[in-house]
Structures are given as structure tokens and as C-alpha cells.
Amino acid sequence: MELSPFDTEQIGIKTLEKSLMKSKSKKSLKIGLPKETSNDERRISLTPGGVSILTANGHEVLVEKNAGIDAHFPDREYEEAGAEISYSAEELFSKSEMIVKVAPPTKTELGWMQPDQILLSALHLGHTSGDFLQALINKGVCAIGYEFIKSEDGEFPIVRMMHEITGSMSVQIAAHYLENSSDGQGIMLGGISGIPPATVAILGAGITGEYAARTALGYGAQVFVMDNNLAQLRRLENALDRRIITATANHRYLTTALGFADVVIGAAMTEGERAPCWVTDPMVQSMKPGSVIVDTVIDQGGCISSSEPTTHSNPVFTKYDVIHYCVPNIPSNVARTATYALNNVIVPYLIDVGDTGGIQSCLWDNTALRNGTYTYKKHLTKKALADQFEMPFRDIEVLIASQI
């Protein structure tokens, strides 16, 4: 079958499929893909293309009915890829050796988890409790968190992809809320001949900030990026051919930038910590009426003092005549793109678990998954979590080496 050059979604998965289609794995896994029940979560971790790769390698995949419907992947496509459709979430949990999902298990799902099951999902540090961790430990669940998966090159591949989506989407969202129909200023980001473009101020020069800057430049906006990390600012200036204006994020520059900005993208963050609050209420009050704030780090507390968490169903509020968009889970609103992104990272890991003969051998060989593991053999294996919840800690490498 020939691919259309415009069929961009399929190109990535076809390339992945070509490299991963091979002889069957040493160990066949029973992988369960439940439907997400968390509010506003529309993503799923595997596409039908990803499922076809797994089944071709000898794995069994159970997909809960309508699990992919919000990302526009119907059950029929999963069945054609070799998956079995499960009509009961409880049954899916009971039959699966490994559960692969986006959000952490709910209290009900936690009750369905089996002893020694493998869980691959996000942990959502801000909403984690000691009771949740203890329940996983008591059941002997091997839990691997998306946000902890770190490859040998120091990258967090899943976190990075979601940050890329968030950065790009933040500008697309801001452009929409600048329009009259959204009570914005009624201006275009890029302007036209003889009319200057809008000004976008981006707080933070990390991955989210970089992709926000790239997208804003693509619209034709004038882009300012502020951070206190000069190395990051220098890197971004070079990456974008000095088409952006950079400044340190001190009070003077922040106050000046917000005074003339039409859009402010909040992307200041430190991985695993609360976001630094750089923008005060008086700074927001100085902004133009109808300007837009998109706080992309609201799930880590936000970097703008006037921000409050919102939802996809009710995404904005107006304060000081400034429109605030503060939805914690921006990638969920482009669920199909986000699902492809998750799938392209996760499928090779699942293949690796089978090829190495099981989770213990895989954790020894695979640095990324070992880094991602936070409970294993009834022990908490992330020191940061142990310190946070005052729980005992065991090093994952010691546990694997001792073959406990």
C-alpha cells in the first residue's frame, strides 16, 4: 500500500513498524489497555498500529470497549490489529499481566490490580498519596511512571513529547482567545502587511517554551523569551537563529514585557518541583484588556499568581480584564496526536520486556525503564518519593541484583 505524503500520522508508525516487526519475543505478555475514566483524559497509550506490532511479536492485547473512542480509534481498528475487546474493565485487569494507561489507576482500578502485575502509566506527583503507593507496594505491583522514564542521554522521552505538544498548543489556544468571539482584543497573532504582529511573551526557555516560541514565530508573532538560565536562553537563541528577543526574568524586564504583551505563555518550571511564581497580580493588572495568559505549568502550581486551575469543559476565566487559560492537561485536547506520541515511545519498551524474557531481566538491561520504576517487589524504589512520604526505600539495582 502506498502512503500519501499528506498521511502524516501513519508515516511515523509505519517506520516504527518496519523496525520492530521481527521474530516473536522470548516471553509473551498479556497487555491490558483500559478506558481512561479520569475527567478530561481523552488519550490512550497505544494506537491500533502499535497493537499490531505487539501482536506480531507474540503478545496478547486486551482493549476495553471504546477505550480509544475519544482519540478517534474505534474498537474495529483494534480488533483488526489483533486485539481482543474486553467489555468489562474489571475482567481486563484480572486477565492482564501488564496494565498500560495514561492516568494513574483510580481507587477502583487499584482494587482490581493483581499481585505482581506490571503498571505502566503516569504517576501525577502532585496528586499522589502515601496510601496509593502503599497499596501498590502491598500488592507487589511493579509500577513504572511515565514522568520518571529517563534514557541514557538524560532525556525524559515521554515528558519531552508532551511538553512539545503543550508548547505548540499554547500558542494555538492563545490565538483563538485573542479573537472577538472569545472576548479577546480582536487581533491576529501574525498581523498583515502594514500592521505589526502581536507580541508573545514566553516565561521559561525549556522544551515547552521552545515549542511555544517556534509556533509563535510560525504565526508571525514578535516573540520574547525570559528565563534566569542564561545557558538555556543562549541555546534557544541559537536554535531559532536569533529571531527571538531574550531577557532575564527579573522584576524590571517582566513588568516591562507584560505591559506590552498581547499573549503571555507561562512555561517556567523545574522538573519534579513546584513551578516558580514569576508574575505578580500587579503585573497582570498592567496588561492590556483582552490580552491572554496561558499558564502551561498550572499542574505544578502555576508561574503566574492570578492563575487558577480550569478544565477542558470550562477552560477560561477573566481576571483584571485578562483572559486566563489554565487547563492542567493540554495534550488531552489533541488526543489523537498525543496518543501517536505516547505509542511511538511506549511500543519499543513493551517489545523489550518480551525480548529480554520478562520484567526483571528488562529492568536490568533497560536503563530508561529502570529509572522509571517506583515500586518493585513490595518496595518503594524512588528515594524522592520515600522522602516525601516518609516511607522506607530500597535501591532498584540492589533488588534486581539480589533476585528478590
Q: Please confirm, yes or no, whether 7 is among the known catalytic residues.
A: no
State the Cα angle at 159 between 155 and 165, rounded to 5°: 120
- Residue 116 is a catalytic residue: no
Distances (CA, A) of 228 to 73, 85, 217, 284: 42, 50, 22, 20
Give Cα 222 distance to the centre of its chain: 27
Q: How many residues does the chain have?
A: 404
**Distance of alpha carbon 345 from alpha carbon 349, whole angstroms:** 7
End-to-end CA distance of the chain, in Å? 49
What sign does the dihedral 3-8-12-17 (CA atoms) show?
Answer: negative
Q: Is 122 exposed, middle or buried (0-12, 13-18, 19+ CB in 10 A)?
A: buried
Would you tell me how many other CB atoms lie within 10 Å of the CB of residue 403? 8
Task: Transcribe 305-363 into DSSP letters.
Answer: TT-----SSS-EEEETTEEEE--S-GGGGGHHHHHHHHHHHHHHHHHHHHHTTSHHHHH
Task: Give me the catalytic one of 295, 299, 324, 355.
Answer: 299
**265, 339, 368, 320: which is closest to 51 by C-alpha?**
339
Catalytic residue (one of 124, 183, 312, 352):
124
Say if residues 29 and 63 touch (Cβ distance below 8 Å): no
Cα separations (Å) of 17 from 83, 100, 126, 347? 16, 19, 35, 10
Q: How far apart are CA 399 and CA 394, in angstroms?
A: 7
Which DSSP helix (H) or strand (E) runs through 380?
Answer: strand 379-380
Indicate the burial class of 316 (C-beta count within 10 angstroms; 0-12, 13-18, 19 or more). Answer: middle
Closest CA relative to residue 178, chosen from 163, 193, 192, 198: 198
Instruction: Give the integer Cα–Cα distance in Å for 339 and 170.
Output: 18
Which residues are part of the catalytic machinery? 124, 299
